[in-house]
Structure 1
């Protein structure tokens, strides 16, 4: 049915993703992944196990538990039923998109929602509310309705992945400001990867997913041969180097592969004080000493 037909039967509005009805005791929830991507998020869909439907709340910027989000959170107290509809990909003119009824849902009582980072329409990163909906009865499932990320895990995940795989997923969700800097970091990493591979090193990346998080974190270079993990930055200013050190410390908490050395990769040699700062954190510094050559700072 189209939204107009659904509104005529059950109330709500033809627009908006979360519609508490004033004519029936329902909160009508509409899932449209194609439209969601235009607004900077792609969480919506079934978990890998098929027992949770992830649904992103509404609101620009950092989302709050107000308005439609509050109506989902408090639907039981309000005596309302959560009913989920999803677009089929078909569209009628002028009737609009076709939706099918997925079923009746309730929030997971243990953890009704989680926070997930995603870009908004302008590319600025924000904190989104992602509801964890559990089927209350039999539901309709269709191929292709899986979420872009799996449901949260109680333990950390750590995988060694090819650089290309990590880049594909990172770039698919990227949209944050500073994209040019990120591309420069990628170029630096690519040159260093080629330099390592010329020395017969096996170069990969690590995919880390902290417990309770939706998005995976991808490290920069992981030299499998030397068991060395690198974080690249496009400048040698103090803030970027501090960020690189902080990222490596963050990664370290979830790594379950061998890492003998953690290293900051830079486009040129930083100041002596910053080299000392990196060393004081138990890390190393490698920098480009030419287009095809790299040195390790003493």
Structure 2
């Protein structure tokens, strides 16, 4: 049916994604992943095991429990059933998009929703509400209606995955600044990965799923051979290095593979004070030189030494810095 036909039968507006009906005891919920992706909603669909349907709430900016979001949250108290419809991808002229009825749902009683970061229409990150809908009886499942990410996990998950050279990070800055930062970081990461592989090191990256989070965290380079984790930044400024330190500390809580060293990868040598900051955190620093090679700062008790990587006898592995920490 089209939205107009559904509205005529069961009430609710013909346009919004979440429509409490004034004529029937239902909240009509419309899922259109293709349209949702234009607004930064990438979570909608069935979980991997088919137990939960993830549905992103409505609203620009940080989503709050107003309007349709509140009607979903409070549907049990209001005596309403959640009725989910999903687009088929077909359009009728006139009439609009065709929808099929997925079935009746209610919010999961233990974890009705989670917060997840996603971009808005301007690509600025914001906090969205992602509802966890549980089927009430028989529901319709079709090919291609799985969510882009799996449901939340009760425990942390960690795995080594291949490095995707084209997969760069998004920053909460202007589009021009963001694009430039992405290009610099991607180029630096690609060059250093090639350097490690030339030294016969196995290289990947870590995929981390914090408990209760929908979106996984992807690290930059993970040197499998030496157990060294790198966080790359496109600039050697204080804010960039502070962010890198925070990211590495965040990642470390969820890592269950061998981790000998955490290191910040930079396009140039930072100032002496920032080098001191990095090493005081028990982290190493690798930076590109004007010749296109890489140098690193070794952390040793009460001493900081800089030397070219090709002179490091143990293929770049830093000495144990536990004494200095």
Give the TM-score, by structure 1 length: 0.96
Residues in 1 aligned to 2:199 and 2:292: alpha-carbon distance in whole angstroms: 12
* Equivalent in the alignment of 2:319: none
Aligned-pair distance for 1:176?
5.0
Note the alpha carbon deviations across 1:200-243, whole angstroms, 9 max, x for none. 11111001110000001110100111111000111111011000
Q: Is the 8 A contact 1:209 1:216 kept in 2?
A: yes
- Counterpart of 2:68 in structure 1 is 68
1:179 Cα deviation (Å)?
3.4
Taking structure 1 as reference, are residues 175 and 4 closer, same or farther at Cα in structure 2, changes over 3 Å only? farther
Q: Is the 8 A contact 2:88 2:99 kept in 1?
A: yes
Q: Does 1:9 align with 2:3?
A: no
Alignment of 1:9-28 (within 5 A): 9-28=9-28
Give the 3-state SS of the residue equivalent to 1:98 in structure 2. Answer: strand
Which residue matches 2:279? 279
- 1:68-107 matches, cutoff 5 A: 68-107=68-107
Moved over 3 A (4+): 174-177
How many residues get paired? 294
Structure 1 pair 127/291, CA: closer, same or farther in 2 (3 Å)? Answer: farther
Larger radius of gyration: 2
Q: Which residue of 1 aligns with 2:247?
A: 247
CA distance in 1, matches of 2:183, 2:16: 35
Q: Greater relative contact order (Cα 8 A, min sep 6): structure 1 or 2? A: 1
Distance 1:125 1:36 in 2: 15
Per the TM alignment, residue 245 of structure 1 is displaced from its structure 2 partner at its CA by 0.4
Alignment partner of 1:31 is 2:27: no
Q: 1:291 to 1:98 in 2, by over 3 A?
A: farther
Which ranges in structure 1 are unaligned for 5 or more consecutive residues? Answer: none
Deviation (angstroms), 1:290: 3.1
Confirm or deny: 8 A CA contact 2:25 2:81 kept in the other structure: yes
The Cα of 1:180 is off from its aligned counterpart by 2.5
Give the direction of change, closer, same or farther, for the CA distance of 1:249–1:61 in structure 2 (3 Å limit).
same
Shift of 1:137: 1.0
Match of 2:233 in 1: 233
For the residue of structure 2 that corresponds to 1:243, the secondary structure is helix
SS, match of residue 163 in structure 1: coil
CA contact (8 A) 2:52 2:151 kept: yes
1:123·1:175 contact (CA, 8 Å) conserved in 2? Answer: no
Q: Any gaps of 5 or more consecutive residues in structure 2?
A: 298-304, 306-325
